[in-house]
């Protein structure tokens, strides 16, 4: 199987990339901040495992990421613009029955999209804890600081690896700053709107977005699964694909 790439219009007509792999039940996969569909889902074989299990992997590059547009106009960044882009993709594809998987920023986007009315059959929030949704402002400040100090952060600084990842991915820093400003905290009470079966999936050494256990407990129909790894390394683990296949193909 080979990955194909096409483009669709997101909010405001932004040209956004969509990568496809496999044939069968559609599953939308949303990558993390400063990453891409290639790095998060394709490079380490996660998408291939889902495709082998009978899924069509639909993997957008979020705006400001990968092959998608990074507009420099502040008007292109209303609150929850990534949710608007996801809604545009679901409409573009005419999806009525699908699953939704996010990692980190993709999980945050997925949760807020479901609260806004997007209705997947099953939902996976990976690389995410309760504080990454309810206390996003702290994480936002961290990443804005990385952008502001880009190129000067030393190896012994906690922000160093985020700086290096930002550099490796070639992210447009000014557009990234605009995007970060579109993200608001999620009131934990709003999580009651997530009524489909949900898997909270996290690296056993990943506390970047707070407690995955607390997130699972705050969701009405969620269970927690841990795989080896930190926030950065867990996406490289074969167990990520294994757990996604197990949950998305399970009965009940």
pLDDT at residue number 194: 97
Instruction: Quote the pLDDT of residue 62.
Output: 98
**pTM summary value:** 0.96
| Residue 185 backbone dihedrals phi, psi, to 5 degrees | -65, 155
> In the chain, which residues have pLDDT < 50?
none
169 in Cβ contact with 34 (< 8 Å): yes
170/215 Cα distance (integer angstroms): 32
- Of residues 145, 146, 129, the one with CA closest to residue 210: 129
CB atoms within 10 A of CB 217: 12
Tokens of 234: 């867990």
Spatial distance between the Cα atoms of 68 and 72, rounded to a whole number of angstroms: 13
Nearest one of 129, 100, 120, 106 to 200, comparing CA atoms = 129
Please report, for the chain, the start and end positions of each structural domain, with discontinuous segments joined by +: 4-131+187-248
What is the pLDDT, as a whole number, of residue 140? 87
4-131+187-248 — its CATH code? 3.40.50.1820
Q: So what's the pLDDT on residue 240?
A: 98
Packing angle of the helix pair 136-148, 160-169 (nearest 10 deg): 70
Distance in angstroms (rounded) separating the CA atoms of residues 39 and 67: 12
- pLDDT score recorded for residue 139: 84
């Amino acid at each position: 199987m080979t990955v194909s790439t096409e483009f669709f219009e997101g909010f405001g007509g932004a040209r956004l990339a969509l990568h496809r792999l496999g044939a069968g039940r559609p599953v939308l996969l949303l990558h993390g901040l400063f990453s891409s569909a290639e790095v998060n889902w394709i490079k380490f074989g996660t998408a291939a495992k889902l495709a082998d299990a009978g899924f069509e992997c639909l993997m957008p590059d979020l705006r400001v990421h990968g092959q998608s547009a990074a507009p420099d106009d502040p008007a292109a960044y209303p609150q929850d613009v990534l949710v608007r882009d996801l809604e545009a993709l679901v409409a573009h594809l005419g999806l009525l029955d699908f699953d939704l998987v996010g990692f980190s920023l993709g999980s945050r986007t997925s949760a807020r999209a479901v609260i806004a009315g997007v209705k997947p059959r099953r939902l996976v929030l990976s690389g995410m804890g309760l504080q990454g949704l309810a206390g996003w402002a702290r994480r936002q400040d961290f990443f804005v600081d990385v952008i502001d100090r880009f190129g000067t952060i030393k190896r012994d600084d906690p922000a160093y690896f985020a700086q290096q990842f930002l550099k490796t991915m070639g992210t447009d820093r000014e557009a990234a700053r605009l995007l970060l400003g579109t993200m608001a905290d999620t009131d934990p009470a709003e999580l009651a709107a997530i009524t489909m079966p949900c898997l909270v999936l996290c690296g056993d050494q990943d506390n970047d977005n707070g407690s995955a256990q607390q997130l699972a407990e705050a969701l009405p129909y969620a269970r927690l699964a841990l795989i080896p790894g930190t926030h950065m390394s867990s996406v490289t683990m074969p167990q990520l694909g294994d757990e996604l296949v197990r949950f998305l193909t399970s009965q009940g």
